[in-house]
Amino acid sequence: MRTACAWAPVVVLSLYDTRRRRRALFRTCGRPVTLYVCGITPYDTTHLGHARTFLLFDVLVRHLEATGRRVRYVQNVTDIDESILQRAARDGEPWRALGRRQERGFRADMATLGWRPPDVMPHATREIPSMAALIRRLLATGHGYRLPGGGVYYDVRRFPRYGALSRFSPARMRRLLAAQDDARLDDPHRRHPLDFALWRKVPSGPNFPSLFGRGRPGWHIECSAMAQHHLGVPIDIHGGGADLIFPHHEAEIAQSEAAWGRPFVRFWLHVAPMRLGGQKMSKSTGNMVFVRDALRETHPDGLRLYLLAEHYRRPFDHDDRRMAEADALAASIRRLAARAGARAWSVPVPRAAMRLLDRDLDTPAALRLLRTLTRAGEPAAVAVARHLGLRVGGGVRAGPSG
């Protein structure tokens, strides 16, 4: 059978889809490519792991737009969460003030790195009506259920494909759920230990009015609702850190496909963690290197190159020596751009570089090509650097912000 996109021009881009566990050709039709990326929970400063994830999707958007495709890019802000409330209580700061301050810091850090801002950055606290509408749909389909004491949960046994993304055993799922920040809020009377909250009746802290009583939305319902509200379904590409595969993205699939009766996402892209001392960089453990600290020693272009130096699906162990090498390469590119002057703007991005990025965003191979071109004094190096988002040869194009 001929697909709806069979007639349309094709961008020869292959991406690794986590759900299928293989690379597949990403075909685009005439409409904009829709991209949803799970964003920050603003309770601490931006670390290198965050920056790596968001720069990867920045490169993806730039690459698609350079091939003539329009992109509709949404990245949320989870501005209500147990981690925010706990940090605010610890520091004696209002939770909204903490979130706003940390979000400003994140935007400033990413702007310094030449980030192309998403088209929309929806905040969870401003999207409660969309979440409530989605919960009502799930109650109507029988996938959601209300508890006598308040709150609404999703019945995972009503969704046979639950677990298809992560392929985790039920025992492993239970262990991971027990480690979540909001695990203590789960109602012990829910039907099954893997059932997750759609709406919680909370004993204390901020809450919001709804048809289900005052409470707070579950973490997973937030992204499903915001993605559908701003992009519709199915979404072409949904991404985030690999640590979100379970439970967050698994739950998003279950509730979204149950509610709308169609596939939720065409491609799932997940960025492997940044590590320090062999351990994942994490706010909760304090094991991290902040972007602003790294920028004291490294030019933004150098830090950007460094964070793209390992393929996004491979864990990245932080290495000061490699960061210095990337900084030296960025300096060499700036010198080359200065020598080439206006001529650097007329040189197209080499097809070899485009083919490497078409191959599941192979940024390490693109950087090896960039290094070779730079050593040879080729102005094409400047074109490749600009394509990767460096500021050489002029300013970075600023995208719209939400």
Does some domain include residue 320?
yes
Q: What is the pLDDT of residues 231-287, one digit of tens each?
A: 999 999 999 999 999 999 999 999 999 999 999 999 999 999 999 988 887 766 778
- Name the residue among 192, 201, 195 with its Cα closest to residue 220: 195
Same domain, 366 and 301: yes
Helix axes 48-66, 95-112, angle to 10 degrees: 60
Same domain, 118 and 203: yes
Using 50, 70 and 90 to split pLDDT, how confident is the model at 398?
very low
Does some domain include residue 77?
yes
Same domain, 177 and 257: yes
Helix axes 363-375, 380-387, angle to 10 degrees: 150
Q: What is the pLDDT of residues 48-64, one digit of tens each?
A: 999 999 999 999 999 99
Same domain, 358 and 239: no
Which domain does 305 fall in, by range? 297-387
What pTM did the predictor assign? 0.93
Domain count, the chain: 2
Measured in residues, the chain has a length of 402
The tokens describing 11, both together, are 């961008």
At 396 the pLDDT is 38
Does some domain include residue 394?
no
Place of tokens 């209580």: 89
At 203 the pLDDT is 83
| Residues in CB range of 200: below 8 A, 6 or more apart | 151, 182, 185, 187, 215, 216, 217, 218
Does some domain include residue 143?
yes
Does some domain include residue 114?
yes
Does some domain include residue 285?
no
Given a cut of 90, is residue 12 above it in pLDDT?
no
Does some domain include residue 397?
no
Same domain, 248 and 309: no
Same domain, 317 and 205: no
Q: Average pLDDT for residues 164-171, to the nearest whole number?
A: 97
Given a cut of 70, is residue 385 above it in pLDDT?
yes
Are the beta carbons of 366 and 305 closer than 8 angstroms? no
Does some domain include residue 223?
yes
Q: Average pLDDT for residues 110-114, to the nearest whole number?
A: 97
The tokens describing 196, both together, are 């997750």
Using 50, 70 and 90 to split pLDDT, how confident is the model at 28?
confident
**Torsion angle of alpha carbons 286, 288, 293, 294, nearest 10°?**
180
Using 50, 70 and 90 to split pLDDT, how confident is the model at 393?
low
Same domain, 313 and 240: no
| Residues in CB range of 73: below 8 A, 6 or more apart | 35, 37, 57, 61, 116, 118, 119, 120, 399
Q: Average pLDDT for residues 86-110, to the nearest whole number?
A: 97
List the single range of 21-30, 100-109, 347-356, 370-379 with lowest mean pLDDT: 21-30
Domain holding 166: CATH number?
3.40.50.620
Are the beta carbons of 364 and 313 closer than 8 angstroms? no
Using 50, 70 and 90 to split pLDDT, how confident is the model at 344?
confident
The tokens describing 6, both together, are 């069979």
State the Cα–Cα distance between residues 218 and 180, nearest whole angstrom: 12
At 150 the pLDDT is 87
